[in-house]
Structures are given as structure tokens and as C-alpha cells.
Chains A and B, each alone.
Chain A
Amino acid sequence: MADQKEQETSVFTEEVIKEVIFRVHRFSPDDGKPPRMQDYKVPVKRGMTVLDGLHYIRDNLDSTLSYRFSCRMAICGSCGMFINNLPRLACKTQILELEADTIEVKPLPNYEVIKDLVPDLSDFFEKHRSVMPYLIREEEEEKIDPPTNEFLQTPDELERFLQFAYCTKCGLCLAGCPTVATDKVFLGPMALAQAFRYNSDTRDQGFEKRLELLCVPEGPWRCHFAGSCSEVCPKGVDPALGVQLLKGQIVFTKLGLKKPHKIAPLATEKPEAKRRPGIPEAPPRTVKKE
């Protein structure tokens, strides 16, 4: 009991363990100065992340520092940065874990810089959009919007793509990719892994449509399995796995060695569920449907 107390106090200690230098990339589009690095001294407590360090700088040393973050728990994918030679999430990187006295924080490479540590991800999202990352069904009455009923999918079928659905669109993978380092139009690991994710979803019938978008020079053929995207992915999505499987999926399907997956049927019966007493109705839609 006493032991446990002692441990608790040492884990949650507020004491400053050491001081590190944050070497931070600075750039502002309207001060006319070229990009530069600026040093800040940051006292480090146990449990402090790089994002916490940036908060410290902004709160105490320099309020002009810009960076992007939201959830501070590796869920939103906003805080991707190039930290001590690897693309990482600032909120998922412990300062002490880096075992360095100087923490170099730069914006994610392979994206344009908007300001300081803020990369422009619009191309990245455009590439995602371009592979039709949504369920495509052929029959009119099964159109997903508005939903009529659920599709029946087994847990095994779910696991074939589930891992890729964990992607938070943080953009680290493209920052690590050697092809993206020179190739502006290559779709990149995230979009391609998402294409595989929807191609492999039994509820989806869009394979043929996506095939046209993928069988272009900027498709998965630009990937040579350096694997860096998977190494930096903070969510274990393993986009490189998705891209290689996508190549196999396309080629083996074209060669007739792989049959298209079976299509999840629409559940015929509405599940008999009664509203439990005391639970209010949902409020009316605020957005009108045409």
C-alpha cells in the first residue's frame, strides 16, 4: 500500500526534470522574412508531450507561434509535425521519450507551409476525395442516403478492411513517402489504402468505378514498398499493406485469378426494436432534404 502511494506520487510529479531547447520552424507569409529556426527553452515535466511544449512556448514565451491541434489525444490527426527527424503527432510524442536535449520541430515535409508549423493539407484531402472513399451500391433502392435498412456483414468480412478505417487523415504517411517527395500527383499511401478499404468492403460495389481512377500512372504503381508510411503511421493503419494488397487486388482480378468479393445483402426485415419508455424522440432535422 505504501509502495503504491510512492509510485503514484512519482508518476504524477510536477517537478521539472530537465530543460530542453525547442528549435522551432518559423515562417509567416506576411512578414517578408524567409523561413528560419528559432530556439526556445522549455522546462520539461514527466508526461509532457511535444504539443504541451508548444503550448508552453505559446503561453509563456511567444504568442505568435502557430500550430494546428485539436483533440490532443491522437484522434483528430491535426498535429502532425516533423519532430526530430520523423513525421509524428506532437500530442502522441513524449518529450522525454525522444531522449534529446534539442527538439527540432518543423512542419510536415512534402506539404506547402501556411505558417510556422501549419502545413497545407488541401491536396491531401483532394487526393482522398478522388478515390471515391464511400460505399457505392448499384441498385437504386439500396442507395445509402437515406438509409432504408442495414447491410449484413460478418465479423470476418469486417476485419478485412477495419484496420484501414482507423485512419485519422493526419497526413504523416505522405510526409514519409519517398515518392511523394518528388511526385506531386501520386495519390499517396493514405488515399490508396482508403481505396483498398472501400474495394474490400462487402457492402461496396464500386470496384470497377475505382479501377478507372487507380489504373493511371499516379496510382499504386508509383509505390515501391519502402514502407516508410507504415513506419510513421500513428494509428497502426499500415497504409503500405493496403497499397500492396490493392496492387494485388487489381492485377489478380484483371488476370481472373481473384473473384470479386461477395456483396453484402440488404437486411430484409427491419429489426423489431421498440423505443424504451422515457426516451425522448429525436429532434426534427435541421437541414431540409430536397
Chain B
Amino acid sequence: MREPTLWILHILAGIIILIFLGIHMGIMHLDTILTSLGVGYKNPLSWSSVLIRNKALFFTITYILLLGAALYHGFYGLRNILFELSLGKSAQKAVNWLLFFVGLFLFIYGGYAAIAAYVI
């Protein structure tokens, strides 16, 4: 009964990523176009703009949300690909646990970085 839940979460995570990674990509890579339209700011990778984002609660929260959604979406996709190589039942279990723990570790690590950047 677990599969449909995992699948619909994959879709929901995809929608979250679409929105927040869309914003992120816009800020980072369409900055000249957006600033000429009057939104966003120049030099998004300069230390001063990093500081602005570090201290903005909106970015801290959406970074953590995006981190979780992207890790789930990416690892579910990887699981799909691995499962489709005719894995046996025990190999499937191993993949599940491996991806779960690696994902959890990365979530804690990245979440810590986002919070630390906000607090410092």
C-alpha cells in the first residue's frame, strides 16, 4: 500500500520544486533580465547578497523546504531507475534504506547550514 503514497509525494515534491527552484533559478541565473525588469538584484553570488539571503527568514524556510522536497524527489527518481533494473526483493530493501539514510544525512547537513547561516 506504500507505493501510491510515495508516488503522489513525488509529484507534490515536484510541484514544490517547480515553484521554489523556479524562483531560485530566476534569482541566480536570470538576474540581469529580472533586474532590468525591476525585480531581483544584481550579482546574486556576491557576499553581500548572500548575507541578505542568509538573514531573510523567507529564504531560510524555503531553502529547507526545497532541500527536503528536492532530496525526496531526486532519490525517489533514482529509486525508480534502480528498481527498473530487475532488482530482487532484498536489493530493493537495501536501496530503500540506503537512499533513506543518505537523504536524511544530507537533509540534516544542509538544514544545519541554512539555519546556522541565519543565526550567525
Q: Do A and B come into direct contact in the complex, CB within 8 Å? A: yes
Q: Are the CB atoms of B4 and A183 closer together than 8 Å? A: no
> Which stretch of B20-28, B52-60, B84-92 is in the interface?
B84-92
Tally chain B residues at the interface, Cβ within 8 Å.
14
Q: Are the CB atoms of B3 and A183 closer together than 8 Å? A: no
Tally chain A residues at the interface, Cβ within 8 Å.
20
Chain A residue with the shortest CB-CB distance to B89 = A217
Select which of A182, A212, A216 is within 8 A of B85 by beta carbon: A182
Q: Are the CB atoms of A222 and B2 closer together than 8 Å? A: no
User: Which residues of B lie under 8 Å from residue A183 when comparing CB positions?
Assistant: 83-86
User: Which residues of A lie under 8 Å from residue B3 when comparing CB positions?
Assistant: 215-217, 219, 221
User: Which residues of A lie under 8 Å from residue B119 when comparing CB positions?
Assistant: none
The answer to whether the Cβ of A250 comes within 8 Å of any Cβ in the partner chain is yes
The answer to whether the Cβ of B45 comes within 8 Å of any Cβ in the partner chain is no
Task: Give the distance to chain A from B83, nearest Cβ to Cβ, in Å.
Answer: 6
Residues facing B in A204-230 (CB within 8 A) are 211-212, 215-217, 219, 221-222, 224
Q: Are the CB atoms of B7 and A217 closer together than 8 Å? A: no
User: Which residues of A lie under 8 Å from residue B48 when comparing CB positions?
Assistant: none
The answer to whether the Cβ of A73 comes within 8 Å of any Cβ in the partner chain is no
In angstroms, Cα B5 to Cα A250, docked, is 10
The answer to whether the Cβ of B19 comes within 8 Å of any Cβ in the partner chain is no
List 5 tightest A-B contacts by C-beta distance, closest first: A183-B84, A184-B86, A215-B1, A221-B7, A215-B3
> Using a CB–CB distance below 8 Å, which chain B residues touch chain A?
1-8, 80, 83-86, 92
> Using a CB–CB distance below 8 Å, which chain A residues touch chain B?
179, 182-186, 211-212, 215-217, 219, 221-222, 224, 247, 250-251, 254-255
